[in-house]
Amino acid sequence: MSTSSILVVGGGIGGLTAAIALCRKGFDVAIIERDPTWSVYGVGIIQQMNVVRAMKDIGVLDDYLAKSSGFDKTTLFVGPGGHKEAEFETPRLAGPDYPSNAGIRRKDLQSVLGDAAKSAGASIRLGLTIQDMVDDGAGVDVTFSDGSTGRYDAVLGADGIFSQTREMILPDAPKPSYTGQWVWRYNLPRPAELDGIHIFAGPCNAGLVPMTDELMYIFVVNEMPEGEILPVEGAAKAMRDATNAMMPAPQLKPWIEQITDDAGVVARPMEVIFLEDQPWHVGRIALLGDAVHASTPHLAQGAGMAIEDALVLAEELSKADPEEAFAAYRNRRFERVAHVAKNSVKIGEMQMGKIPPFDVGAMTGGTIKMMCGPI
């Protein structure tokens, strides 16, 4: 293995997982993160069975589960009447003693991964971006925004959907696009009877997800005009109004009325990108996670795909020089990320009436089967 020093651009989920996995394989890893406060919004994230397995693979599962809520069951309700349509459990990929899935606050996930990356030996510098990179074939010389420099055997761009790294190495690649939908999230007290994810499909596409013994979050998906801006003031009423306008199931209405804190509302337009016909690396510089395949949350696998990217990159870099490793990484990852990227958008298009209805349950089942397979 001729690669020893690696720069990871981005201190989010994918970048931190990559740092942990690489350090565990003996690499010298440096992380830079543009946000000087390294902040993350406080609502939750669904982590499916393949992510729980990955957390075990990088040695953080116990710490991860200590800050999350594990569960096996998903319950589906349909229509404005909230009819219970189905209930199923998913496999425990991390072993019989661990749950299949987990809900966790994003700030808690970052804390677990950040602490693990530091403990593994990664250095982390905040408030820093790349000013210039020169790949001479034997290494990459990097000039940072503070004027400092460094030389690395490889660089990994884990800097999100609006990736600066992607712009630098693939300036002609597709740009992120808006799907036509927003996702709204809000933290609420968790009722004792919530024993897994409750999904509500139909006029109101929403869900309740446990995060801790005391907390859950509600998410709601709706259609919004492009360019819409949501001020903080009035955000809670806007979320209530948007949800009530979609004729929510009766089980949701008591929770909707508890959306009262403007600052607690997290609402985002769903923007996507998928480098389907482009390379995912140039020379010794590669992309992972949302920088190459940002998807909508309809299949709850966006973070999962970034985490899996990180594990595969670490494995391939431990076996070959960067360019060979990066080509193998794309080949291994393409089918899974294409499935998630394309089908998550397809679900949203059906919800907006842009394409004919299809069996989302069958698609979800196929996704679960794929995610249970090896990466």
Rounded Cα distance between 348 and 96, Å, is: 34
Rounded Cα distance between 329 and 286, Å, is: 10
Q: ∠326-329-330 over CA atoms, to 5°?
A: 90
Computed over every residue of the chain, the mean pLDDT equals: 95
Residue 205 has pLDDT above 70, yes or no: yes
DSSP-assigned letter for residue 175: P
**In terms of DSSP bridges, do strands 149-152 and 154-157 run parallel, antiparallel, or are they unpaired?**
unpaired
The sheet that has 294-294: what strands, in order across it?
A: 83-89, 73-78, 196-201, 205-210, 215-223, 177-189, 266-274, 294-294
What is the arithmetic mean of pLDDT over 27-48? Answer: 93
pLDDT of 38: 94
pLDDT of 214: 95
What is the arithmetic mean of pLDDT over 26-51? Answer: 94
Contact yes or no for 2/321 (Cβ under 8 A): yes
Contact yes or no for 114/129 (Cβ under 8 A): no
pLDDT of 40: 87
pLDDT of 306: 98
Contact yes or no for 79/95 (Cβ under 8 A): no
List CB contacts of 42: < 8 A, sequence separation 6 or more: 105, 106, 107, 187, 266
Rounded Cα distance between 43 and 188, Å, is: 10
pLDDT 10s digits, 73-92: 999 998 889 999 888 999 99
pLDDT of 2: 60
Rounded Cα distance between 286 and 9, Å, is: 10
Ranges 6-10, 38-42, 135-139, 177-181: which has the least confidence: 38-42
pLDDT tier at 202 (50, 70, 90 boundaries)?
Answer: confident
Q: Which of 41, 173, 157 is nearest to 109 (CA)?
A: 41
Helix ranges (H only) for 94-177 are 106-120, 164-169
What is the arithmetic mean of pLDDT over 44-69? Answer: 97
pLDDT of 163: 98
Residue 53 has pLDDT above 70, yes or no: yes
- Residues above pLDDT 70, as percent of the chain: 99
Rounded Cα distance between 41 and 39, Å, is: 7
Which tokens hold the place of 84?
């219970």
Torsions phi, psi of 241, nearest 5? -65, -45
Residues in the chain: 375
Sequence letter at residue 197: I
What is the arithmetic mean of pLDDT over 159-181? Answer: 98
What is the arithmetic mean of pLDDT over 144-168? Answer: 98
Ranges 3-7, 8-12, 27-31: which has the least confidence: 3-7
Three-state DSSP at 320 gives coil
pLDDT 10s digits, 324-346: 999 999 999 999 999 999 999 99
Q: Which domains does the chain have, with CATH numbers?
A: 5-40+106-176+271-372 (3.50.50.60)
Q: How many CB atoms within 10 Å of residue 213?
A: 8
Q: How far is CA 208 from CA 47, 92, 222, in A?
A: 14, 21, 16
- Residues above pLDDT 90, as percent of the chain: 91
Which tokens hold the place of 141?
């010389």
Cβ-in-10-Å burial (0-12, 13-18, 19+) of 284 comes to buried
Q: Which of 291, 305, 238, 245 is nearest to 266 (CA)?
A: 238
Rounded Cα distance between 309 and 313, Å, is: 6
Which tokens hold the place of 370?
């794929």
